């Protein structure tokens, strides 16, 4: 069934279809309508989940951690400073290997106070050990929530589903709501082999000494370093799982198929624009216009930001003449984080494209299609020259 | 294709004696249960077991009477604090040192 | 399951009109009809645009997106939302800069800064106003008026509820989407708050909308 609804409703619908069992979230703009919709689903009996009201984001994720530890399918959502307020627990959830799914409705981070969109919030949580997926439209938001649960539960790693605040969260567009029976076929119920159970008491994530030591049965139990190494190994291996899940989803719903990089007209392109989120769709119109002018250009939207799909980046971009990387976030004091990741992946490639880095749309600054067009043209004309400095576009100084 | 054994290193441990070595030697005071006051011991019924419930090291049995494993009891006094009838007394270890050598 | 309930003839008229006004534009703009809605906080402009987006989609426009521009609005302050409709999927979610149509829920907003900004030559203003189109003069812009405030009150809506009536004016003046499917979507949206009255406000406004010459 097709509906026209907001991106937040698309996310809530995905959470409902996934038969999520426990939800704890604290409202924050622009995520608020998502949690409101979920509480409405629960209060109207359209969903059988426990909706646990909390007094802060830190508590929201703490509740999810506890609930997930008992083996239930668990969801939360937040934005910007809310995400930062739960940051300690964000690290905990991945270290504890709990398959929580969290929507991050991307918003700029204060100070100064802003409620509008950029990617600084989720980018700042890049190194927490979570999987980070980015959605570009409402259909992808809903679909990605479903895939996120499956990936998270297969690899025992929590997943952030990121989508642009306001641009996607509060805009309306058509999307298809899949049938519950198809979702059930796609996503089996969650079972954990290491959960809290009164019949078999155990301690989880207590102080773990620097070195390994025997457990009560005399078997060697891992130290902190082994456990963290295992998280890293599993994140790298989860790239395969993300791909498998995408294929499985496509087999059932006949949608998707590009879990790492979603390309538009990149096949024969000489120059490719790269970015994350809804901007990669806006850039399609820019690419169309440049193609009309005879330029061989394409756009690539990075859908999976962590684990970073290094091989997919190499496959997609080696042999290109140039990359124009647009970002709504920055590693202050250095450069755009996506730029760092992409250029680092391409370092080992002999025929490297040049790469230019542009920061834009910070704190909801309007991204004009004309500015994108001008910038893309300028980058192409500047020829083969790498520029380490980042340039901000749309600035009014 | 990749691995299918994910999350095999989760930090968890089962409660039981010995996880931290023989911790009885850490003890300064020893909990002694007065079986004439202890509820299950006195009544002969499955009752109370607050000491068993609260012992953070799981060294008290849920039996009639409850039995404390002094090889591992660290002497934290929680059982004595929680006992609703004050049946548990904390006795200085020095008083046993001579007798036990 | 699409419902093709709109008048093929009016659509044809619009497409001819629309093609005329965008012949100088580029291909991207040609395929998308851009409608900017201006109201005041609490007036329901966003809900109105959402209903139209819904009806557009179910009338066969596969691209129907509505992107509100959120400021620090409060009740009474000017608000705007961008509605883009197209036969193809729409990828650009930036606010409308050069609208084909501007829909104004309160004629006093015509005086406000920004309301008519970027309106294309040969474009259209649809305004809730007690005046006739002839009383306005905006060069090569078509003006359509309806006294939505009075019409809505006459069918039993509370004074000031104009967001369903204006949809009727939009349907009549633009000819883009039929009044039947719009009424149906109004009833869906307002199923708990006077669905019949809200749909009737749209129908009656449709009948009473006056479209001026250029």
The residue among C54, C111, C113 whose CA lies nearest residue C83 is C54
Token pair, residue A23, equals 């939800």
A196 touches chain B (CB under 8 A): no
Q: Other C-beta atoms within 10 Å of A171: how many?
A: 22
Calculate mean pLDDT across residues A125-137: 98
CB C112 within 8 A of CB C35: no
Name the minimum distance, in Å, from the CA of B1 to any CA of chain A: 7
Token pair, residue A262, equals 């979603």
Contact (CB<8Å) C65/A171: yes
CA distance A63 to A261: 33
CA distance A258 to A248: 12
Calculate mean pLDDT across residues C169-192: 95
Searching chain A, which residue's CA lies closest to the CA of residue B58?
A201
Residue C141 pLDDT exceeds 90: yes
Q: Which residues of A touch C49 (CB under 8 A)?
A: 172
Name beta bridge partners: A228.
none
CB A303 within 8 A of CB A278: no
CA distance B66 to B51: 8
Candidate from A172-176, A286-290, C4-8 with smallest mean pLDDT:
C4-8
CB A155 within 8 A of CB A237: yes
CB A282 within 8 A of CB C91: yes
- Is the dihedral angle over the CA atoms B80, B81, B85, B91 positive or is it negative? positive
Q: Which residues of C touch A174 (CB under 8 A)?
A: 57, 62, 64
Contact (CB<8Å) A244/B1: yes
Contact (CB<8Å) C53/A281: no
Averaged confidence pLDDT in chain A: 95
CB A118 within 8 A of CB A108: yes
CB A166 within 8 A of CB C70: yes
The residue among B26, B34, B14 whose CA lies nearest residue B71 is B26
Residue C7's pLDDT is what? 42
Residue C78 pLDDT exceeds 90: no
The better pLDDT of the pair C15, A224 is held by: A224
Domain boundary assignment for chain C = 8-211
The residue among C66, C75, C47, C17 whose CA lies nearest residue C163 is C47
By Cβ distance, the residue of A2, A4, A282 closest to C50 is: A4
By Cβ distance, the residue of A4, A281, A369 closest to C64 is: A4
Residue ranges, comma separated, of all CATH 3.40.50.920 domains in chain A are 261-392
Residue B101's pLDDT is what? 56
Q: A250: exposed, middle or buried (C-beta count within 10 Å: 0-12, 13-18, 19+)? A: middle
Q: A2-186 adopts what CATH topology?
A: Rossmann fold (3.40.50)
- Whether B contacts C, i.e. 3 or more CB pairs less than 8 A apart, is no
Searching chain C, which residue's CA lies closest to the CA of residue A164?
C93
CB A253 within 8 A of CB A184: no
Q: Which residues of A touch B16 (CB under 8 A)?
A: 216
Name the minimum distance, in Å, from the CA of C30 to any CA of chain A: 12
Domain boundary assignment for chain B = 27-100
By Cβ distance, the residue of A172, A288, A292 closest to C65 is: A172
Name the minimum distance, in Å, from the CA of C67 to any CA of chain A: 4
Give percent of chain B with pLDDT exceeding 70. 88
List, in order, residues 6 or more apart from A355 with CB less than 8 Å away.
A322, A323, A324, A325, A339, A342, A343, A346, A386
Residue C22 pLDDT exceeds 70: no
Name the minimum distance, in Å, from the CA of B68 to any CA of chain A: 18
**Which of C92, C95, C117, C181 would you mutate first to test chain A, the one with the most A CBs within 10 A?**
C92
Residue C13 pLDDT exceeds 80: no
Contact (CB<8Å) A172/C66: yes
Contact (CB<8Å) A289/C26: yes
Q: B27-100 adopts what CATH topology?
A: Alpha-Beta Plaits (3.30.70)
Residue with tokens 């930001």, as numbered in its chain: A305
Residue A393's pLDDT is what? 94
Contact (CB<8Å) A170/C27: no
Give the C-alpha distances (Å, rounded to integers) separating B77 from A12, A70, A206, B9.
50, 30, 22, 34
Q: What is the ipTM of this complex?
A: 0.90
Contact (CB<8Å) B14/A216: yes
By Cβ distance, the residue of A4, A116, A288 closest to C53 is: A4
Contact (CB<8Å) C94/A367: yes
Give percent of chain A with pLDDT exceeding 90. 89
Averaged confidence pLDDT in chain C: 86
Residue B18's pLDDT is what? 65
CATH number of A261-392: 3.40.50.920
Residue with tokens 């290109």, as numbered in its chain: A320
Residue A370 pLDDT exceeds 50: yes
Residue B4's pLDDT is what? 75
Q: Would you place residue B20 in the very low, low, confident or very high pLDDT band (cuts 50, 70, 90)? A: low
CB A269 within 8 A of CB A296: yes
CA distance B95 to B67: 20
CA C7 to chain centre: 17
The residue among B73, B42, B34, B45 whose CA lies nearest residue B57 is B73
Q: Would you place residue C23 in the very low, low, confident or very high pLDDT band (cuts 50, 70, 90)? A: very low
Phi/psi region, residue B7 (left: phi>0; alpha: psi -120 to 50; beta: rest), is left
Give the C-alpha distances (Å, rounded to integers) separating A319 from A248, A287, A313, A322.
31, 19, 11, 9
B18 touches chain A (CB under 8 A): yes
Calculate mean pLDDT across residues A280-307: 97
Q: Would you place residue B58 in the very low, low, confident or very high pLDDT band (cuts 50, 70, 90)? A: confident
Calculate mean pLDDT across residues A182-206: 90
Candidate from A173-177, A207-211, A227-231 with smallest mean pLDDT:
A207-211
Q: C8-211 adopts what CATH topology?
A: Pyruvate-ferredoxin Oxidoreductase; domain 3 (3.40.920)
Calculate mean pLDDT across residues A102-107: 98
Searching chain A, which residue's CA lies closest to the CA of residue B1?
A240
Q: Chain A neighbours among C 136-195 (CB < 8 Å)?
A: none
CA distance A379 to A356: 7
Token pair, residue A151, equals 């990936």
Q: Would you place residue C29 in the very low, low, confident or very high pLDDT band (cuts 50, 70, 90)? A: very low
Candidate from A17-26, A121-130, A209-218, C131-140 with smallest mean pLDDT:
A209-218
- For B80, the enclosing helix (H) or strand (E) is helix B78-82
Q: What is the DSSP letter of C74?
A: -
Q: What is the DSSP letter of C157?
A: P
Candidate from A264-278, A379-393, C156-170 with smallest mean pLDDT:
A379-393
Q: Which residues of A touch B52 (CB under 8 A)?
A: none
Contact (CB<8Å) C94/A369: yes
Calculate mean pLDDT across residues A364-389: 87
Q: Which residues of C touch A116 (CB under 8 A)?
A: 70
Token pair, residue B86, equals 């004050």
Q: Other C-beta atoms within 10 Å of C183: how many?
A: 26
């Amino acid at each position: 069934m097709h509906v026209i609804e907001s991106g937040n409703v698309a996310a809530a619908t995905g959470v409902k279809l996934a038969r999520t069992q426990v939800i704890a979230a604290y409202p924050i703009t622009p995520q608020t309508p998502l949690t409101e919709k979920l509480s409405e689903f629960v209060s109207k009996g359209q969903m059988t989940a426990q909706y646990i009201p909390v007094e802060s984001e830190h508590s929201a994720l703490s509740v999810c951690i506890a609930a997930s530890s008992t083996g239930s399918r668990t969801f939360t959502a937040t934005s910007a400073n809310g995400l930062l307020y739960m940051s300690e627990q964000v690290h905990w959830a991945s270290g504890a290997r709990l398959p929580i799914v969290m929507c991050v409705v991307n918003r700029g981070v204060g100070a100064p106070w802003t409620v509008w969109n950029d990617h600084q919030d989720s980018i700042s949580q890049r190194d927490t050990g979570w999987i980070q997926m980015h959605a570009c439209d409402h259909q992808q938001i809903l679909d990605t929530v479903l895939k996120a649960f499956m990936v998270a539960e297969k690899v025992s790693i929590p997943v952030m589903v990121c989508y642009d605040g306001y641009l996607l969260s509060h805009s309306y567009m058509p999307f298809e709501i899949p049938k519950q029976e198809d979702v059930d076929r796609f996503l089996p119920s969650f079972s954990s082999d290491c959960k809290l159970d009164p019949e078999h008491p155990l301690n989880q994530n207590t102080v773990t000494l620097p070195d390994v030591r025997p457990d009560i049965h005399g078997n060697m139990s891992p130290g902190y370093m082994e456990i963290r190494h295992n998280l890293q190994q599993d994140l790298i291996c989860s790239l395969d799982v993300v791909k498998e899940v995408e294929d499985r989803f496509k087999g059932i719903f006949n949608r998707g198929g590009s879990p790492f990089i979603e390309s538009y007209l990149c096949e024969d392109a000489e120059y490719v624009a790269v970015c994350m989120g809804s901007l990669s769709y806006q850039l399609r119109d820019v690419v169309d216009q440049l193609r009309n002018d005879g330029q061989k250009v394409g756009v690539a939207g990075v859908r999976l930001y962590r684990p970073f799909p290094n091989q997919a980046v190499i496959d997609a971009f080696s042999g290109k003449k140039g990359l124009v990387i647009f970002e709504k976030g920055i590693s202050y004091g250095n450069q755009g984080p996506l730029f760092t990741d992409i250029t680092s992946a391409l370092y080992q490639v002999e025929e490297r494209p040049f790469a230019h880095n542009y920061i834009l749309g910070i704190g909801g600054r309007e991204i004009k299609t004309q500015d994108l067009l001008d910038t893309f043209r300028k980058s192409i004309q500047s020829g083969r020259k790498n520029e380490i400095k980042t340039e901000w576009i749309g600035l009014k100084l | 294709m990749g691995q299918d054994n994910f999350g095999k290193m989760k930090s968890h441990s089962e409660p039981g004696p010995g996880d931290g070595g023989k911790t009885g030697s850490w003890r300064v005071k020893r909990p002694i249960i007065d079986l004439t006051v202890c509820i299950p011991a006195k009544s002969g019924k499955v009752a109370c077991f607050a000491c068993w419930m609260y012992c953070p090291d799981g060294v008290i049995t849920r039996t009639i009477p409850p039995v404390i494993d002094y090889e591992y009891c660290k002497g934290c006094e929680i059982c004595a604090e929680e006992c609703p009838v004050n049946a548990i007394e904390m006795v200085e270890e020095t008083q046993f040192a001579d007798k036990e050598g | 399951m699409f419902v093709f309930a709109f008048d093929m003839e009016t659509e044809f008229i619009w497409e001819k009109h629309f093609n005329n006004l965008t012949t100088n534009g580029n291909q991207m703009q040609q395929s998308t009809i851009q409608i900017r809605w201006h109201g005041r906080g609490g007036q329901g402009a966003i809900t109105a645009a959402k209903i139209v987006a819904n009806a557009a989609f179910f009338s066969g426009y596969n691209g129907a997106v509505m992107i509100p521009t959120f400021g620090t609005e409060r009740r009474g302050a000017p608000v705007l939302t961008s509605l883009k409709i197209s036969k193809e999927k729409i990828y650009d979610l930036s606010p409308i800069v050069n609208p084909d149509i501007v829909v104004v829920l309160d004629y006093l907003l015509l005086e406000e800064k920004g309301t008519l900004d970027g309106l294309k030559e040969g474009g259209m203003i649809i305004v809730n106003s007690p005046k006739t189109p002839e009383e306005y003069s905006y060069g090569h812009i078509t003006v359509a008026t309806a006294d939505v405030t009075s019409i809505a009150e006459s069918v039993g809506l509370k004074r000031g509820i104009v967001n369903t009536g204006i949809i009727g004016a939009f349907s009549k003046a633009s000819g883009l989407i039929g009044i039947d499917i719009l009424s149906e979507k109004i009833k869906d949206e307002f199923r708990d708050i006077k669905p019949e009255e809200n749909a009737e406000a749209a129908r009656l406004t449709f009948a009473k909308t006056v479209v001026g010459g250029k």
